Structure 1
Amino acid sequence: MELFASIRRNSLGLAIFAVLTAGLIAITHQLTDHTIKNNILDAQIAAFNEILPADLYDNDLTTDTAILPADPLLGSETDIKIHIARKNGAVTGIIFETIAPRGYNGNLDMLVAIDKTGVVTGSRVISHKETPGLGDKVDLKKSNWILSFANTSLDQPNLKGWAVKKDGGEFDQFTGATITPRAVVRAVKNTLTYFDQHKDTLLAY
C-alpha cells in the first residue's frame, strides 16, 4: 500500500510539474512572440530602406505586396512575393524576394529592388549557406561586393557584361570562389529581365 501511495504521489507531482512547465512555456511564448515579430519587421524595413531610396515611396512596403506565380527567371518553383513602392499612389518601384539558384552550397535568398525605369536601386543576399571566408562575401557584412549592382540595368552593363570577369563580364568574382558570385549576378540579371518582360503589369498594381 505504501508503494502504491508513493507512486500516486510521484505521479501527481510529475503531472503538476508538467502542467506548470507547459503553462510557463505558453506564457513565455505569448510574451516574446510579439517582440520577435516586431524584430523581424524592423529588420525587414531596415533592409528595404537600404536598397530603395526613401524618396521613392510613401507607402508601407511590408503590407503593400503581391504574389507572383513561379517563374524560372525568379529562381523559384513556388510563388514569389513582391513589395510595391508607391509615391502619391503611383508605382515607383518593385522589391522582389527573388532566389539565386545554384550557389556553391545551394540557393541564396535575395532582395532585388528595381525602380519604374528598370534600374536596380539596390540588392541584398538575405540568406545563404556559403562557405565562410569564400562565398559568404556576397553578404554585405563580409564585403561591399553586393553594392556593385546599384544603378545597373539590362543596358548598363550590356548583356555580355552581365557575368563575372572570369566569364568575360564586368562583375568581380572572389578569390577561390566563382560559383556563388556567378549565381548572384545571374539572379539579378534574370530579375531585371522578368521586370522588363512584365513591366506594364507590375507598374499597374
Structure 2
Amino acid sequence: MNLISEKIKQTAAYPALLMGAVALLVCSLLMVTNNLTAQPIADRLREDLTKQLDQVLPASSYDNQPLDQKYQEVIDGQKYTFYRARLQDKVSAIILFTASAGYSGDITMLVAIKADGQLSGVRVLSHTETPGLGDKIELAKSNWILDFSGLSLSKPDTTGWAVKKDGGQFDAFTGATITPRAVVKGVFEALQLFKAKQNYFLELTDSE
C-alpha cells in the first residue's frame, strides 16, 4: 500500500490532484460557513433597516410591513430600490434609496415620501465624508438632517432647494459646503422623481 502511495506521489498528475483536493476542501468549508452566517447577516440587515424605517416613517402611517414590499426598478435608465407603505390597501408612502456625489464619495440616503409628495423623513445610510466636518449629515452628529421633514417640491420653491451659500434655505457646514449641497440635491431629485412617476409609485391609474 505504501509502495502504491509512493508511486502515485511520483506521477506528474499528483500535484494537480493534491491542489484539487485542497481546493475542494476550501470550497466546502466556505459553503458551510456561508450557510451558517447568511441568515444571521440577513436578519441583522433587516433589523438595521427596520430601525431606519421607524425614524423616517411613523408607524401610524401604514398597516402593512413595508420591508416585505421591496421593489427594484430601472426608471429613466437608472436602477432604484424602494419600499411601499400601505394604509387601508392604498400606498401611503414610499421609502426610496438614493445617492448623491459628496466630497469624498457617494452619500447613500433613505428618503420617505408621503403620498401627497411631502417628505416624512430623510436619513443618511452611508458616506465617506470628512469626520468632524461633513459627517454632520448623520443624526448622531447633528440635527441638520431633520430639517427635511415636512418639506416638498413647493415648500420651499425650486430656488429654496439649495444651501444658503447658493441662495437656498438650507444651512451649510463650516468648511464643508459640498456635503450638505449633495444631500439637498439628492433629496430634491428624489422628490422630482416621485412627482414624475407618481402614478407608478402609488399604483394609480390615470383616472385616479
| Map 1:23-62 → 2, pairs under 5 A | 23-62=28-67
SS in 2 for 1:181: helix
TM-score by length of 1: 0.83
Unaligned runs of 5+ in 1: 72-76
SS in 1 for 2:53: helix
> Aligned equivalents of 1:20 and 1:197: distance in 2?
53
Query: Which residue matches 2:98?
Result: 98
| Map 1:150-161 → 2, pairs under 5 A | 150-161=149-160
SS in 2 for 1:43: helix
Query: Taking structure 1 as reference, are residues 192 and 14 closer, same or farther at Cα in structure 2, changes over 3 Å only?
Result: closer
Query: Which residue matches 1:74?
Result: none
> Aligned equivalents of 2:21 and 2:73: distance in 1?
50
Q: CA deviation at 1:78?
A: 3.2
Q: Percent identity?
A: 42
Note if 1:66 corresponds to 2:65: no
Note if 1:78 corresponds to 2:78: yes
> Aligned equivalents of 1:15 and 1:199: distance in 2?
55
> Aligned equivalents of 1:15 and 1:187: distance in 2?
50
RMSD over aligned CA atoms reads: 2.7
| Map 1:160-199 → 2, pairs under 5 A | 160-199=159-198
Count of aligned pairs: 198
Q: CA deviation at 1:200?
A: 2.4
Code of the aligned partner of 2:169: E
Unaligned runs of 5+ in 2: 10-14
SS in 2 for 1:97: strand
SS in 2 for 1:176: coil
Radius of gyration: which is bigger?
Answer: 2
> Aligned equivalents of 2:70 and 2:25: distance in 1?
42
